[in-house]
Chains A and B, each alone.
Chain A
Amino acid sequence: MKKREVITELRATFEAPAPQEKTAFLRKLETQPISNAAFVWMQLRYMRGSILLISALGFVMLLLCGIAPKPETLWIFSALSPFLACSVLGVARRSYVCGMEELEFATRFSLKSVMLARMGCLFVLNGLALLTMILFLGSSGFWILKTGVYLLLPYCSTISISLPLTRKYHGKFVSYLCIFVSAVVSACVVYVQINAIVFSTLVIAILLVAELLVIVSESAKLIHQTEDLTWNYN
């Protein structure tokens, strides 16, 4: 008698009668309430390491350069901020890129909650980085409002252009599209800096408000879209 045969016999020998309350118990177990903080922490652990690393690196770099700012620091980070925005969009579309959205629909939480928690974490991280930079530069002689606009404008531009694209298109193509948009916005910032192009305050203010409106509107549409797709969430 072979070893494998003995193991097979053992498995059959130790077979128990089917449990009666398994399904009901597991269903009850999986719907136990969870706190918001625990949920966000859980989602944070599922986020791709590279995306967290990009955000953390951006945060540390902004912090280090903000301690001893030079005149060109503002422009450098103004040109880099679109890539921070790109990391947020990467999280938003990861499920679609990896073809995992159906699995996420079928799990304990809705896709909307999962996506908002992950995007929220990165938004908070990026927001903290930008706010720290604005405050550091503000305390070092830069005009706070100007610094804020210079850093936020490219960031908001990237998100407002990329969000409609990510909502419309699916697959890996969207990731490349987001990176391309970030690169174009970044190049525009560099171009404006090199050619010393000056925009009026009114134009910048209108642009920023318009971008914020687009972001709010597109986010609402994105949430609505994920709600439509949650076919088995209750």
Chain B
Amino acid sequence: MSMDLDEQYDKIYRYCYYKLRHRESAEDVTQETFLRFFRTYEGQKQNLPLLYTIARNLCADEFRRRQHVPLCEEDTQFVFEDAVLQNETLRTELNRLSEDDRELLLLRYANEVPLSALCKLYGISRFALYRRCSKLLSELRQRMEG
């Protein structure tokens, strides 16, 4: 696998944490993602899209599972919203965006996933993805300035 495991662990964890908003669950899902990847897909060329697809599916499973489980204290505290989103203006603006758009911003700018990998992940062209990212970023800029 031609990737830095240490770095990718942090990024997948960040993605899972953002999806689940629960530290322990995010860490469990991150580890399960890597185990599944190495068990089934190691050696394949499209490493990153595969990793994120596994992580996304596992997060969905975990989210579905947790709907039937009573929420623990940490779940109700919205740790992600309070502790992570430090910039108030940006937090407000991000909350106005759709879930998909927020996920795209996280992947593209926080996790620095290359455009080619994101194209595979979302199943859209490079041009369309570039336009979508640029549009989102300029909208955020305008709102923050205004």
**A interface residues (Cβ-Cβ under 8 A, vs B):** 1, 3, 6-7, 9-17, 19-22, 25-26, 29-30, 32
- Give complex CA distance A25, B38 in Å: 13
* Inter-chain contact B109/A16, CB cutoff 8 Å: no
Contacts A1-B141, A6-B137, A11-B110 known; A17 to B83 CB distance under 8 Å?
A: yes
* Inter-chain contact B17/A26, CB cutoff 8 Å: no
- Give complex CA distance A15, B111 in Å: 10
Look across to chain B and name the residue whose beta carbon is closest to the beta carbon of A29.
Answer: B34
- Give complex CA distance A20, B85 in Å: 20
* Inter-chain contact B17/A12, CB cutoff 8 Å: no
Interface of A is mostly: helix
* Inter-chain contact A13/B27, CB cutoff 8 Å: no
* Inter-chain contact A13/B85, CB cutoff 8 Å: yes
Q: Which positions 1-37 of chain B face chain A at CB distance < 8 Å?
A: 5-6, 9-10, 13-14, 17-18, 23, 26-27, 30-31, 34-35
Which of the candidate stretches B46-54, B62-70, B86-94, B124-132 sits at the interface with the other chain?
Answer: B86-94
* Inter-chain contact B87/A22, CB cutoff 8 Å: no
**Residues of the A chain whose Cβ atoms lie less than 8 Å from the Cβ of B90:** 9-10, 13
In the assembled complex, how far is the CB of residue A12 from the closest CB belonging to chain B, in whole angstroms?
6
**Residues of the B chain whose Cβ atoms lie less than 8 Å from the Cβ of A11:** 109-110
In the assembled complex, how far is the CB of residue A43 from the closest CB belonging to chain B, in whole angstroms?
14
Of B5, B27, B34, B145, the residue contacting A1 (CB under 8 A) is: B145
In the assembled complex, how far is the CB of residue B24 from the closest CB belonging to chain A, in whole angstroms?
8
Contacts A1-B144, A10-B109, A25-B31 known; A17 to B87 CB distance under 8 Å?
A: no
In the assembled complex, how far is the CB of residue B85 from the closest CB belonging to chain A, in whole angstroms?
5
Interface of B is mostly: helix
* Inter-chain contact A9/B87, CB cutoff 8 Å: yes
Contacts A14-B110, A16-B14, A21-B27 known; A3 to B91 CB distance under 8 Å?
A: no
**Residues of the A chain whose Cβ atoms lie less than 8 Å from the Cβ of B115:** none
**Residues of the B chain whose Cβ atoms lie less than 8 Å from the Cβ of A32:** 38
- Give complex CA distance A7, B17 in Å: 20
* Inter-chain contact B14/A26, CB cutoff 8 Å: no
Of A6, A12, A20, the residue contacting B144 (CB under 8 A) is: A6
Interface check B106, CB cutoff 8 A = yes
Interface check B105, CB cutoff 8 A = yes
Provide 19 A-B residue pairs closer than 8 Å at the C-beta atoms, listed in order of the A residue. Answer: A1-B141, A1-B144, A6-B140, A7-B137, A9-B87, A9-B90, A12-B87, A13-B84, A13-B87, A13-B91, A14-B84, A16-B26, A17-B17, A17-B83, A19-B13, A19-B26, A22-B10, A22-B27, A26-B6
* Inter-chain contact A13/B94, CB cutoff 8 Å: yes
**Residues of the B chain whose Cβ atoms lie less than 8 Å from the Cβ of A25:** 9, 31, 34
